[in-house]
Amino acid sequence: GMVQKLDQKLPVANEYLLLSGGVREGVVDIDLDELNVYARGTDYDMDFTLLVPALKLHDRNQPVTLDMRHSALCHSWLSLRLFDEGTISKWKDCCTIVDHINGATNYFFSPTKVADWFYDSISIVLSEIQKKPQRGMPKVEKVEKNGTIISIILGVGSSRMLYDIVPVVSFKGWPAVAQSWLMENHFWDGKITEEEVISGFYLVPACSYKGKKDNEWRLSFARSEVQLKKCISSSLMQAYQACKAIIIKLLSRPKAISPYHLRSMMLWACDRLPANYLAQEDYAAHFLLGLIDDLQHCLVNKMCPNYFIPQCNMLEHLSEETVMLHARKLSSVRSDPAEHLRTAIEHVKAANRLTLELQRRGSTTSIPSPQSDGGDTNQPDDRLAKKLQQLVTENPGKSISVFINPDDVTRPHFRIDDKFF
């Protein structure tokens, strides 16, 4: 809200999608090469991803046609010709300019320039907050720009909350390139409506491996993925979380596989396997082995189709050497999955112990931070942290958005699916 008030670039009536887990957790399909490494327990206690629409195109009923002539599948450039003159003049400085032979000028919205502007704006806002601390305002522990992502760690009472903030372009409706996917049969048919699944999509600031970073955006179906999670059984979700915990450590170097790939494989498995089999409550172990096998199969064949745009192979760019290295690592997991799972659980326990130890130390210090309310430091104000954690925990698989009034940034409110809080 305060960034919006700086230069009125952001839409006034804006909706920010809040996702549980950071970009490093594979919550959105963004390459992780440029992200600094943060560790749960050492750097933060809970993590979120916040999608912030810089532009919105919400007045279209027909399928949205994007300019994909210059980019790889699942990517697009965005011409500001789709918008009014006021929007063009407002965002000119965040565009790359292409002059045509006929004398016309085209402004292409640049993900790198938008990220630079957004980071500068957030830095200005945070420095103002630090000059004039207000009661209850979170303490800013760290602000870093990681490629096109802005990572902020806030101290809220004794909790440290990591927000990966992603500037996006928000669309209502569905992209024409993914229209054929709707014609297929899917596991969610009859469980949720098509309108819920195709209510909107995003362009996120990430380019393909051969794309032009200054111009290319990646299509993201984060809002749809939140809806589809509602239709996945709890035992399969447990297996996914377990598999994610294993691969996030094991397959981190060289960077090739992310939890987003794993989630895509899980969605394909839901389409492929019988619903009554996936509904078995005590089959979590079976599902874990199945996910490892599916991942192994994808690596060996160097093929992982995007769930919404199947003609896009998300592993196409990898070298044979890299895929075989990861395939061999996965073979060791498959031979003794229980041991690898125990190791992953021990990592989580160690992170939790470290968090509790840091919170215990924090509660015994007698020096309040300059941004604390100066009250009893033995009773840290964790209300915001606890409220967020409670919202996420109590509403698994639900779409959580934040609405902010730029004229009163002290009162955000949340929407969970269609209910407001």
What 3-state DSSP class applies to 166? strand
Residue where one domain finishes, among candidates 279, 302, 335: 335
Contact present, 162 and 47 (Cβ < 8 Å): yes
Q: Same domain for 86 and 155?
A: yes
Indicate if 99 and 199 belong to the same structural domain.
yes
pLDDT at position 420: 56
Is the residue at 81 inside a domain? yes
What gap in Å lies between CA 406 and CA 417, rounded to an integer?
A: 22
Answer yes or no: is 353 within a domain.
Answer: no
User: Do 246 and 220 belong together in one domain?
Assistant: no
Q: How far apart are CA 330 and CA 340, in angstroms?
A: 10
Residue with token string 């990592």: 347
Which of residues 281, 312, 335 is at a domain's end? Answer: 335
Q: What is the DSSP string of 71-135?
A: S-TTEEB-BGGGS-HHHHHHHGGGEEEEE-TTS-EEEEEPHHHHHHHHHHHHHHHHHHHHHS--T
**Between the CA atoms of 64, 67, 72 and 75, what dihedral angle is there, to the nearest 10 degrees?**
-50
- What DSSP line would sit under 39-50, residue for residue? -BTTTBSEEEEE
The SS3 call for residue 35 is coil
Same domain, 296 and 152: no
Cα separation, 285 vs 239, in Å, equals 7
CA separation for the pair 339, 250 (Å, rounded): 13
Identify whether residues 178 and 74 lie together within a single domain: yes
Residue 347 CB burial class (10 angstroms; 0-12, 13-18, ≥19):
middle
List the pLDDT tens digit at each of the 421 positions of the chain: 889 888 889 988 788 899 988 998 889 998 766 678 888 888 998 899 999 999 998 765 667 778 888 888 999 999 988 788 888 899 999 999 987 766 678 899 999 999 999 999 999 998 888 888 777 778 888 999 999 999 999 988 788 899 999 999 999 889 999 999 999 999 999 999 998 898 899 999 999 988 899 999 999 999 999 999 989 999 999 999 989 888 887 776 677 788 899 999 999 999 999 999 999 989 999 999 999 999 999 999 999 999 999 999 999 988 999 999 999 998 988 888 888 888 878 877 777 787 777 767 665 443 333 333 333 333 345 565 566 667 666 766 555 666 666 566 556 566 666 565 5
Residues 6+ apart with CB under 8 A from 106: 79, 80, 81, 97, 98, 99, 100
Q: Is residue 174 part of a domain?
A: yes
343 in a domain, yes or no?
A: no
How many domains is the chain partitioned into structurally? 2
Q: Do residues 267 and 313 share a domain? A: yes
Strands (E), 157-279: 159-172, 200-204, 217-220
Residue 340 lies in a domain: no
Kindly state whether residues 239 and 210 are assigned to the same domain.
Answer: no
pLDDT at 396: 60
CATH of the domain at 286: 1.10.1410.40
Residues 295 and 330 sit within 8 Å (Cβ to Cβ) = yes
Q: Are residues 25 and 146 in the same domain?
A: yes
User: 116 with 253, same domain?
Assistant: no
Residue 252 lies in a domain: yes
Cα gap 27→268, rounded to integer Å = 17
How far from the centroid of its chain's Cα atoms is residue 281's Cα?
Answer: 28
C-alpha–C-alpha distance, residues 166 and 160, integer Å: 19
User: Do both 137 and 213 map to the same domain?
Assistant: yes
Q: For residues 150 and 171, state if they share a domain.
A: yes
Domain-located, residue 14: yes
Of 399, 419, 414, nearest in space to 197 by CA = 399
Expressed as residue numbers, the domain containing 62 is 1-231+399-420
**Residue 156: enclosing H or E segment and its boundaries?**
strand 149-156
Do 79 and 148 have their domain in common? yes
pTM (two decimals): 0.83
Residues 134/17, Cβ–Cβ less than 8 Å = no
Q: Which two tokens stand for residue 151?
A: 């990572």
> Does some domain include residue 394?
no
